[in-house]
Amino acid sequence: MVEARSLSALGSRALLYAILIAFAAFYLTPLIVVILNSFRSFQEITQTSVLGFPQQFRFDNWAQAWGSYCIAGICSGIKPYMWNSLMIAIPATLISTLLGAMNGYLLSLWRFKGANLIFGIITFGVFLPAQMKLVPWAITLRNLDLSNTVTGLILIHVVQGMSFTTLFCRNYYVNVPQDLIKAAKVDGAGFLQIFRRIILPLSPPILIVTVIWQFTGIWNEFLYGITFSEGSARPVTAALMALSANIAQAREYGIESASVLIAALPTLLVYLFGGKYFVRGLTAGAVK
């Protein structure tokens, strides 16, 4: 009887693992196809199929994707667009994280009338569809003379990101004892001194969460990049769209695949080296 139950449990577990492996393989198939095609020649792909193992590994696709492939008539590869994305993502991430931390600190630890209302208004931006904001942003960028500029996209992502960073930081700082703030006030510390000397040293878990969240979100964002930039000012996601939509020439699937992988590397590295800290930060209060 016991042996039969053990065999039944073993069979159930094997079936569960088989189902999970099948789902994982189905989910990873597109990524595997892109990786394999990035090492295949144009002739090999067109003469056989996009599904296949490279007959000979070729690395020239990666070199051309980085520096010598034509995107919508501009023969420069995705290198300048990668720099554009870095110039947008890094300052927008840092500024929105700092502002979100200060907002969260103010709304959670400095009680004042209307704080909950202000918090609700700020976080309401989390739930607004991005399409609703296109026209207001178009008018704002036009009035500020920031249309089709990297600075304009930085402004958009800073303002857009403040809803998330404020939500994360406020919910984290709520758990900071009020006695710390009261003691600092008794010692004569002001708003910024308390923030710099007490709150920030307690903040690494949630700041890591917001930095990873913001950086990956900004890097992968497509709608604002394709709408408010063109030509050499585009971020890499919009440039990849122009690459794949360029039907004036034969589709270079190998180069396109290498371009996609290069564009994905920064966010993959962020999650590779910071993923465990992201999970720790979430469990420390980011979603409480």
Q: What is the pLDDT of residues 161-179, one digit of tens each?
A: 999 999 999 988 888 888 8
- Take residue 150 and report the two structure tokens written for it: 């990297």
CA pair distance 218, 89, nearest whole angstrom: 6
Q: What is the pLDDT of residues 171-208, one digit of tens each?
A: 888 888 888 888 888 888 888 888 888 888 888 889 98
Residues forming beta bridges with residue 74, ordered by sequence position: 71
Determine phi and psi for 147, rounding to 5 degrees. -65, 140
CA pair distance 64, 42, nearest whole angstrom: 13
* pLDDT confidence bin for 230, thresholds 50/70/90: confident
CA-wise closest residue to 32 among 52, 4, 2, 11: 52
CA-wise closest residue to 169 among 115, 89, 124, 102: 102
- Take residue 145 and report the two structure tokens written for it: 């003379």
- Take residue 264 and report the two structure tokens written for it: 């994905």
What single letter denotes the amino acid at residue 40? Answer: R
Alpha-carbon distance values, 285 to 25, 204, 279, 281 (Å): 33, 12, 10, 7
Q: What is the pLDDT of residue 281?
A: 67
Alpha-carbon distance values, 55 to 32, 37, 286 (Å): 16, 11, 48
Cβ neighbours of residue 112 closer than 8 Å, sequence gap 6 or more: none
CA pair distance 170, 104, nearest whole angstrom: 4
Global pTM reads 0.83
Residues forming beta bridges with residue 75, ordered by sequence position: 70
Q: What is the pLDDT of residue 124?
A: 86
Domains of the chain with CATH codes? 75-286 (1.10.3720.10)
Average pLDDT over the chain reads 83
End-to-end Cα, the chain, rounded Å: 46
Q: Select the highest-mean-pLDDT range: 57-71, 112-126, 212-226.
A: 212-226
* pLDDT confidence bin for 248, thresholds 50/70/90: very low
